[in-house]
Structure 1
Amino acid sequence: MAEPTVIVVGNEKGGAGKSTLAIHIATGLLHAGKRVAIIDLDLRQRSLAKFFANRAAWTAGNGCFLPMPFEADLGDGKALAKADEAEQTQRFEAAFAASKEQADVILIDTPGGDTLLSRTAHGLADQIVTPMNDSFVDFDLLGTVDPVTLELLKPSIYSESVWEARKHRAITQGRTATIDWIVVTNRLAVAEARNRRRLEERMEKLARRVGFRMGPGLRDRVIYRELFPFGLTVADLSNEVRPVAVSLAHVAARQELRNLMQALGLDGGAINSPLDAAA
C-alpha cells in the first residue's frame, strides 16, 4: 500500500485563513474520491474539527450523505496543549499512525504560532500550503524588507522554519525527499494597486530565494463563512444540498476552489454542480 500524501497548512501568524483553506482542500479531496484523514493541531480553537462535527450533524439532521474524513482522536485539545512534550509527541504520533492506515491524504491544520506539534508536522510534510493576506503585515513572517526602500533583505522566521523542516526531511528520508512549498494569497480584497504590485515583486524575489511557488487562494467571500455552521463548502452544493440560495458569486467561488486544487497538483475536476448552470 502506498504511503499517504501529507499536506500541512501552515503559517505562524493567526488570521491568515489556514483553517478556511484546510476545510476547502479537505472537501475538495473528498469529492475527488480520496480517502482523507484530518489532524487539527490548533488545539485551542479546533476550527477544522468543529467544521466536520457540524457537517456530521447537518447531514444527519437533513437525511443526506456527504463524504467525511477520518479523524484520529487526539483527546481534549486544551488539556493536550498544557501537557508535557513527551505526551504531546506520543498522542500526535499515535494519531498520525492511525491516519496512515485509513487515508490516501493526511491533511494537518496547524496553529498560528510556533509549537512542538506544528514543527513535527512540518517535518513530515510532502506539501506545505501557506496562506497569507495581501499585505506587508503577513509578508513580514516570510521575509524582511528594508523600511526605507522596501527591498527584500532576508528570509524571516517562518521561512526559516520551513528550511529546517526541509533539512530534517532530507536527513531522515534521504536527499531526494523534498517538500513542495506553495504560498497562496488568501482573502484577496480590493487593494491599492501600487501596494499589491510592490508586494508581488517582493514575493517573486523571495520565492526564488527560499524555494516556494506561488498559487491562487480564496477571496474574502461571504459564502465561505455562511456555509461554515452547516459544515459545508461550495464543493458540496447541489440540488440536494442547498441550505442557502445559489448565485453567480457561488459559481465563481467554486471556480476559485478548482483553481486552488489544480495549483496544488490535486484533482479539482470533481468540484462541479448542476447548480453552476442554473445560477
Structure 2
Amino acid sequence: MGHVHYIVFANEKGGTGKSTTAVHTAIALAASGHKVGVLDLDHRQRTTTRYLENRDATMKRLDKAIPQASYEVLEDQTEEALAAALARLEQNADVIVVDTPGRDDAIARAAILRADTLVTPMNDSFVDLDLIGQVHPDTFKITRPSFYAELIWNSRTQRAKATGKSVDWVVLRNRLQHIQSHNLVRVGAALDELARRVGFRVIPGLGERVIYRELFPKGLTLLDFHEIGEVGLGHVAARQELREMISSLDIPGEAATNEPIAAAG
C-alpha cells in the first residue's frame, strides 16, 4: 500500500461544526472510492464515533450497504495507543480522518504532527477568528497571529524537519451566512490577510442548516438522498456546498474519483 493521506480536523474551540465536517468528509471520500479510516480522539464526547455508529445501525435497519468508513475511538490517551490505533486503520485505508477534541492536549498535538492536510473549521465570526489571529478593534486589521497559529506553525516546521513533507493547512469557514453583511466581509478580509502572513488556505465549508442536526440520529450525510426521503432545494444546495468543500481540500487521488460523489444519492 502507498502513502496514507492524513486529514486532521483540529480546533481548540467547540461548536465550530468540526465533527460534522469530519464525518461528511470521511463519507464523501468513501463514496468516491477511497478506503477511509476515522479516528475519534475525543473519548468523552465521542461525537464522530456516535455518528458513524448511527450510520451502521441505519444500514442494519434498512438491510442496505451505504458508503462507510472504518472507525475507532481512542480510549487510551497515550501516544503509544495513538500510534497503534493509526497503524490498525492504515491496514485498510488510503485516507485517514482524525477528529481531535475541542481543546489543546498532548494527543491532539501528536495527531497534528501526522497531518498531510490540517483542517481548522471556524464559525464565520471575530470570536472564532481570535483563535488564530488578534484583530484591531477599530480597523479590523490583524495585529498579530494568536497562540494557536504559532502552535500550528511550530508543528508544521517540526514535521518538515522530521519528514521533509509539507502540511497543507486549510481554514474552513463553516456556518457561513447566506446574506452578505459588513461582518462577513470584514472577517473574510482579516482571514485573507492572516493567511498571507501565516500560510494557510481559506475555503468555504458547510453553511448553517438545520439538516445537519437532523441527519445525526440516523448517521446520514448529504450524499444519502435515497435514505433521507423528502429532499428540498435547501438539501440540494447544501450537498453542492459539501461537494465544493471536498474538491477544495485537494486530497490526492480525488480528481480521478470525484465523479462518483456527484452521482451519489
CA distance in 2, matches of 1:252, 1:150: 31
- CA displacement 1:155-177 (0-9 Å, x = unmatched): 11221121121011112102xx1
Q: Distance in 1 between matches of 2:137 and 2:264?
A: 50
Find the aligned partners of 2:211 and 2:63 in 1 and give their Cα distance: 23
C-alpha change, 1:237 and 1:192, in structure 2 (3 Å) is: closer
**Partner residue, 1:189:** 177
Give the C-alpha shift of residue 72 in structure 1.
3.9
Matches within 5 A, 1:118-197: 118-174=108-164, 177-189=165-177, 193-197=181-185
Residue 96 of structure 1 corresponds to 86
Instruction: State the match for 1:246 in structure 2.
Output: 231
- State the structure with more CA Rg: 1
Partner of 2:248: 263
Aligned to 1:35: 35
After the TM superposition, which residues 105-116 of structure 1 pair with which residues of structure 2 at under 5 Å, given as runs?
A: 105-116=95-106
2:262 match: 272
How many angstroms apart in 2 are the aligned matches of 1:59 and 1:94? 28
User: Contact 1:48 / 1:109 at 8 angstroms: preserved in 2?
Assistant: yes
Per-residue Cα deviation, 1:90-120 (whole angstroms, up to 9, x for no partner): 1111001111211000100011110111100
Query: Which residue is equivalent to 1:65?
Result: 65
Matching residue of 2:9: 9
Partner of 1:26: 26
Contact 1:254–1:271 (CA<8 Å) still a contact in 2? no
Contact 1:258 1:269 in 2 (8 A): no
Report the alpha carbon displacement of residue 274 of structure 1 after superposing the two structures with TM: 7.8
- CA 228–154 in structure 1, closer or farther in 2 if over 3 Å, else same: same
Query: Which secondary structure does the structure 2 equivalent of 1:215 belong to?
Result: strand
Q: Which runs of 4+ in 1 moved over 6 A?
A: none
CA RMSD of aligned residues (A): 1.6
Corresponding residue of 1:84: none
Q: What SS does the aligned partner of 1:58 have?
A: helix
Q: 1: distance between equivalents of 2:48 and 2:196?
A: 32
Count residues in correspondence: 260
Q: What amino acid maps onto 1:229 in structure 2?
A: P
Partner Cα separation in structure 1 for residue 84 and residue 68 of structure 2: 21
Separation in 2, partners of 1:73, 1:13 = 20
Contact 1:217 1:256 in 2 (8 A): yes
> Residue 237 of structure 1 is aligned with which of 225, 241, 247?
225
By how many angstroms is 1:125 displaced? 0.3
One-letter code of the match for 1:271? I
CA separation of 1:66 and 1:123: change in aligned 2, threshold 3 A: same
Partner of 1:227, secondary structure, is helix
State the TM-score, normalizing by the size of structure 1.
0.89
CA contact (8 A) 1:11 1:112 kept: yes
Provide the C-alpha distance between the structure 1 equivalents of 2:112 and 2:264, rounded to a whole number of angstroms: 38
How far apart are the structure 2 equivalents of 1:44 and 1:274? 33
Q: How far, CA to CA, are the matches of 1:249 and 1:273 in structure 2?
A: 18
Whether the aligned pair in 1 keeps the contact of 2:41 and 2:73 (CA below 8 Å) is no
Q: Which runs of 5+ in 1 are unaligned?
A: 82-87
**2:44 alignment partner AA:** R
Q: What secondary structure is seen at the aligned counterpart in 2 of 1:269? A: helix
Counting aligned pairs with the same residue, the percent is: 44
Deviates more, 1:64-73 or 1:258-267: 64-73
Unaligned residue ranges in structure 2 (runs of 5+): none
1:122, distance to aligned residue in structure 2 (A): 0.5
Deviates more, 1:143-152 or 1:27-36: 143-152
